[in-house]
């Protein structure tokens, strides 16, 4: 019997395994009729999962933890039997700001401490000349992107939200926000950095891997009690996604992989923009050649194990960003969101 599952996603390269599970037929092979729905906000994914309009959702790991803890006004307990990727984000600033940073840099801009110090120098100069503070964006408050921005800024003692204004801009609007000057820079998942560079408005400063390797990013979230209530559905979707992972890791499949993502009801973006990202070849802008970033985004099986340890980094990030005040029971609750028990050989 075929089981119908509706899964929501945001248009980002890291939704790939869900898309491939459907479009390469892995879900069907597991007896699933997978219906994919593109969404416009993480809030919608959370709320539609919460009222069962979705069975599962492509979700930011930190958003799953925030919803489970009830931080940010909404309590919607979630469980994660599987991650969807590791890494794959980048920090991009406007071309103009990049040129200013490069002039202020004392050393190689590829060094995250050098670039962070250049940014601190820019912040100080603007303050001294009475210019408004810089604004940086992430795609959601509760996101690895926010915490990576905080980590980068901390290298030169800057605090996000204090020294630099913080704004939330949904992924598809990042290019427009940079073009209009509403934000000076952003941290977002692929392909939105490449999109800003290709549009001639952005210059990539760092890949997320420059700051942190094997960084937790998107996960597959279910309603918390569904793991016990509907174990067969969870196992089938997990199995389909693991098969998609094997397929995605074969370099020979990349052209076809890029075409699936490019479809109008998936990312609706040109193949030419997506394929280089899948080859880890990142356009940088500001007159620099593309950069090859080894294992820029991980889709391999080992990357998909939901690690309770990731919750510790996420909670630390939330605390640093001023999103939570830690209480003793938080750590256990947050760790329990990641459930390796459903991962093959993954009993924790």
Tell me which residues touch other proteins (CB under 8 A).
40-44, 47-48, 50-51, 53, 72-75, 139-141, 161, 166-170, 172-173, 176, 180, 182, 322-323
What phi, psi does 157 have (nearest 5°)? 80, 10
Rounded to whole angstroms, the Cα distance separating 341 from 235 reads 10
> Cβ of residue 186: shortest distance to other proteins, in angstroms?
13
- Paired with 91 in beta bridges are 187, 206
Q: Which is nearer to other proteins, 75 or 213 (CB)?
A: 75
Label each residue of 138-182 as H, E or C. Answer: ECCCCCHHHHHHHHHHHCCCCCECCCEEEEECCHHHHHHHHHHCC
> Cβ of residue 258: shortest distance to other proteins, in angstroms?
25
User: Taken in order 253, 256, 261, 265, is the CA torsion positive or negative?
Assistant: negative
Q: Which is nearer to other proteins, 53 or 249 (CB)?
A: 53
Q: Is 265 in a helix, a strand, or coil?
A: coil
> Cβ of residue 72: shortest distance to other proteins, in angstroms?
5
Q: Which is nearer to other proteins, 306 or 317 (CB)?
A: 317
> Cβ of residue 54: shortest distance to other proteins, in angstroms?
10
> Cβ of residue 60: shortest distance to other proteins, in angstroms?
10
Show Cβ contacts of residue 312 under 8 Å, excluding neighbours closer than 6 positions.
331, 334, 335
> Cβ of residue 10: shortest distance to other proteins, in angstroms?
10
Do 204 and 197 meet the contact criterion of CB atoms below 8 Å apart?
yes
Q: Which is nearer to other proteins, 169 or 234 (CB)?
A: 169
Label each residue of 171-240 as H, E or C. Answer: HHHHHHHHHHCCCCEEEEECCHHHHHHHCCCEEEEEEHHHHCCCCECEEEEEECCHHHHCHHHHHHHHHH
């Amino acid at each position: 019997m075929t089981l119908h599952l509706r899964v929501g996603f945001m248009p980002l390269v890291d939704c790939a395994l869900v898309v491939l599970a459907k479009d390469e037929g892995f879900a069907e092979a597991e007896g699933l009729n997978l219906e994919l729905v593109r969404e416009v906000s993480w809030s919608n994914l959370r709320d539609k999962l919460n009222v069962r309009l979705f069975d599962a959702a492509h979700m930011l790991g930190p958003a799953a933890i925030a919803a489970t803890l009830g931080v940010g006004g909404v309590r919607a307990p979630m469980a994660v039997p599987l991650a969807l990727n590791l890494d794959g984000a980048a920090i991009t600033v406007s071309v103009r700001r990049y040129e200013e940073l490069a002039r202020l840099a004392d050393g190689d801009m590829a060094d995250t401490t050098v670039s962070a110090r250049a940014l601190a120098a820019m912040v100080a100069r603007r303050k001294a000349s009475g210019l408004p503070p810089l604004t940086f964006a992430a795609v959601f408050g509760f996101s690895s992107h926010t915490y990576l921005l905080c980590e980068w800024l901390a290298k030169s003692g800057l605090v996000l939200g204090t020294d630099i204004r913080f704004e939330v801009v949904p992924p598809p609007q990042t290019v427009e926000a940079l073009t209009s000057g509403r934000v000076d820079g952003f941290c977002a998942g692929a392909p939105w950095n490449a999109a800003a560079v290709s549009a001639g408005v952005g210059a990539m400063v760092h890949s997320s891997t420059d700051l942190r390797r094997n960084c937790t990013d998107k996960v597959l979230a279910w309603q918390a009690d569904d793991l016990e209530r509907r174990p067969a559905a969870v196992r089938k979707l997990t199995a389909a996604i693991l098969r998609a992972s094997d397929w995605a890791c074969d370099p020979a499949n990349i052209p076809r992989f890029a075409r699936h993502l490019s479809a109008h009801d998936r990312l609706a973006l040109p193949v030419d923009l997506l394929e280089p990202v899948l080859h880890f070849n990142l356009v940088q802008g500001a007159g620099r050649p593309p950069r090859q970033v080894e294992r820029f985004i991980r889709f391999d099986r080992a990357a998909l194990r939901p690690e309770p340890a990731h919750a510790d980094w996420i909670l630390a990030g939330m605390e640093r960003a001023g999103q939570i005040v830690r209480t003793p029971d938080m750590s256990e609750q947050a760790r329990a969101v990641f459930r390796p028990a459903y991962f093959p050989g993954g009993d924790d």
